[in-house]
Amino acid sequence: MKRVFLILSLFIGTYSFAQKKAPENWQIMDPKTDKVYGTGVEQAYKTLGTKTSGTVIVAVIDGGTDTEHDDLKNIIWTNPGEIADNGIDDDKNGYIDDVHGWSFLGGANGDIGYEATELARMYQRLNKKYKDADPAKLSNEEKTEYLTYEKIKPEFLKAQAEQDQQAAQFSMLSDFITKVKTQQKSEFTKTAVKAFIPDNPQDEMIKKRMKLILTLVNPKELDEQVSQGAGMIINMAKYNRMNADSIRRYIVGDNPDDANERYYGNNHVKGPDALHGSHVAGIISAVRNNGLGIQGIANNVKIMVVRAVPNGDERDKDVANAIRYAVDNGAKVINMSFGKYYSPDKKVVDEAVEYALSKDVLLIHAAGNESKNRDIEQSYPSREMASGKVAPNWLEVGASGYKKGKNIIGSFSNYGKTKVDLFAPGVDIYSTAPENKYINESGTSMAAPSTAGVAAVIRGYFPELKATEVRDVLMKTVVPYKRKVKIPGTKKKKTRVSELCISGGFVNTDNAVKELMGIKAK
C-alpha cells in the first residue's frame, strides 16, 4: 500500500525532482570516495581486508519474497531441521514444512493479498455494535468502546474520502496512459508521450507533468506501477467497506479476536504479491559479483522470509508472531519495512520486541512515507512500549538520496528529532523484483533494508557485538551533514539534519568498521 502514495506524489507535486536519476547501485557507494551518499559498504570491504565473516540470518518480515529469483535463490535461508513438502513438522517448531520461512497470511483456503486498514477494521467492528446504540443504556466498559467509536468514525470517513480521491487520480493516470498507447499505436514511451496530441485541458496538464516525470522514471515501470496502484487502491477501498475479520477467518482459519494465538498460517512465503519483499531482500544481500542485476550490501547473509504484511495494514498478532518466529529460528537482524497509525493489540507486539531483545536480535524499522514528523504523530510498530519502556535493540530509519544538497532527504520520508535514528539510501533504489526482474523503488521501505544490510555486515564480521552495541556503533559513526536541508512535506522550509533525526546523519559501513577496528578516520 505504501507504494501508492509515492506513485501519486509524482503527479501532485510533493515528490522532489531536484535530483537527477541516481547512479545504479548507489546505495553501496561512499560519500568520501565516490561523492555519493550511499552506505559506504564497498569501501568497508576494502578496509576489512582479509578479515572473515560468519553467516548472519536476516529475517525479512514483508508481503512475500520470490525465493527463486536468480539474484536471491542462493542467499535464501533453508531450515536445517525441516524436510521439504512431507507434511510433517520435522523440527517440531509448530510450523509444518517451513523450509524457507513462514506465512501468517495463508491457510487451507488460500493466501491473503489485500487487507483493510487497521482504522477500517476497528470501525467495522465497532460500527456493527454501536451504530444505533443509546449511550445512556451502555455499561461503563461499553461506554469506553463507544467513545473510541465516536472518535474514529470521522477519521474513517475522511480516510475513505481520500481513498476515493486517490482512486480517481489513478483512474485519470491510467486513462491517460491508455490514450497515449492507443493514439500513438505503440508502447508507453517518452517518444509516444511527446508525440501525443491532447484533446482536453486535463490531458494537456498531465502530458506536461508526465514529460518531467519520465526524465526520472522508466516508462515501462511507470506503466506497470500505475496499473498496480489502480488495482491496489480499488481493492483497498473495497476491503475497507467489508467485514475483514470474516474474510480472514475463512482464508487463514485463525481467530482474529485472539491476539495471543501463535500457530496458524502456511508455508507460501512468496504470496500473491512478492514485489515489495523481493525488492527489500535484494537491497540487503542480492548475490554480489555474479554478473547479474545488482550488488547487495551484505556478503554474508541468508534471508529468512516471513510473510505478515498484506496490501493494506498488517495485524498486530501477525507482526508479533513474525518477530517470534524469526527470533526462534535464528535471525540476528529483522527488517520491518511496514507501518500503520493504529495498533489495538500493541501489547503483544511489545512483548515480541522484548523477546527479541532477550535473544540479542536487532530490529530495523522503516519510519514511513507520509512526510510526517514522528515526534508529533506516532506510528506502529514502535520501540516505545505501552509500559513506558524503550527498546534499545531498535533502529528507526528515514530515507535519503544520493546527492548532497537541500533535497538529500527524501521528500516523502517521515522524520523526527527524537523518534527517527538516522537516514539511509531510500530514493531511486534499483533492486530485485519477481520473475527475475529489477525495478527502481523509493521509500523508507528501501532505507530500512539498506541499514539492515549494514547491520548484517557488522554482525557477521564482529560477532562479539550485542544487538544494542551494533545499534550504538551505527549511530555513533553516521556521516554528519551540516548544511540545511528541505523539511519533507514542505516547499521551502529548511533545517539541519540533526533536527530531523537523533544521530544527525547517514548510516555508513566503512565508518563503523574503522571505529571497531580502531582505525582513525582521515
Q: Is 70 exceeded by the pLDDT of residue 3? A: no
Mean pLDDT for the stretch of residues 103-107: 98
User: Is the pLDDT confidence value at 105 over 80?
Assistant: yes
C-alpha to C-alpha distance for 398 and 341, rounded to whole angstroms: 17
Residue 247 lies in a domain: no
Q: pTM of the predicted model, to two decimals? A: 0.92
Range of 14-28, 163-177, 317-331 with top mean pLDDT = 317-331
- 437-473 pLDDT per residue, tens: 999 899 999 999 999 999 999 999 999 999 999 999 9
C-alpha cell at 407: 533535497
Q: What is the rounded CA–CA span in Å between residue 224 and residue 268? A: 24
The verdict on residue 243 lying in a domain is: no
Same domain, yes or no: 123 and 198: yes
280 in the same domain as 212:
no
Distance CA 8, CA 258 (A): 36
- Among 107-111, 124-128, 209-213, 486-490, which is the least confidently predicted range? 209-213
Cα–Cα distance between 443 and 3 in angstroms, integer?
A: 8
State yes or no: pLDDT of 2 exceeds 70: no
In a domain, residue 284? The reply is: yes
Q: 470 in helix, strand or coil?
A: helix
* Ordered DSSP codes for 381-420: S-SB-TTS-B-TTEEEEEEE-SS-STT-B-TT--B-TTT-
Nearest-angstrom CA–CA distance, 493 and 316: 36
Residue 342 is assigned to a structural domain of this protein: yes
What is d(CA 365, CA 319) in angstroms, rounded to the nearest whole number? 12
- Count of the separate structural domains present in the chain: 2
Question: Cα 351 vs. chain centroid, distance in angstroms?
Answer: 22
Pick the last residue of a domain from 203, 237, 271: 237
Query: Are both 127 and 159 inside the same structural domain?
Result: yes
Band the pLDDT of 522: cuts 50, 70, 90. Answer: low
> 84 with 132, same domain?
no
* In a domain? residue 344: yes
Phi and psi dihedrals of 302, rounded to 5?
-120, 130
**Do residues 304 and 352 share a domain?**
yes
Segments in 65-200 forming alpha helices (H): 118-130, 140-184, 190-195
Of 85-94, 205-214, 223-232, which one has max mean pLDDT? Answer: 85-94
The answer to whether position 303 is within a domain reads yes
In this structure, is the dihedral angle defined by the CA atoms of residues 266, 268, 272 and 273, taken in order, positive or negative? positive
Do 338 and 230 share a structural domain? Answer: no
Judge whether residue 8 has pLDDT over 70: no
Together in a domain, 69 and 193: no
Confidence category of residue 13, pLDDT binned at 50, 70, 90: low
**Mean pLDDT across 237-244:** 87
Assess whether 268 and 227 both reside in one domain.
no
- Joined together, the cell numbers standing for residue 322 give 513474525
Residue 467 lies in a domain: yes
Same domain, 107 and 141: no
Q: Select from 445, 279, 451, 450 the least CA-distant residue to 366.
A: 445
Percentage of the chain beyond pLDDT 70 is: 96
- The pLDDT confidence band at residue 7, using thresholds 50, 70 and 90, is low
Query: Which domain does 188 fall in, by range?
Result: 119-237
358 has a pLDDT exceeding 90: yes
Q: Mean pLDDT over all residues of the chain?
A: 93
With a pLDDT cut of 90, the percent of the chain lying above it is 84
Residues 28 and 177 in one domain: no
24 and 48: one domain?
yes
**Domain-embedded: residue 251:** no
Identify the CATH number of the domain in which residue 375 sits: 3.40.50.200
> Domain boundary at 237, 252, 275, which?
237
CB contact at 8 A, 451 and 424: yes
> In the structure grid, which three cell numbers stand for residue 26, read together?
548507489
Residues 103 and 130 in one domain: no
Do residues 230 and 174 touch, judged by C-beta distance below 8 A? yes
Residues in the chain: 522
pLDDT-derived band at 365, boundaries 50, 70, 90? very high
The C-alpha cell of 16 is what?
Answer: 522532489
pLDDT tens for each residue of 289-307: 999 999 999 999 999 999 9
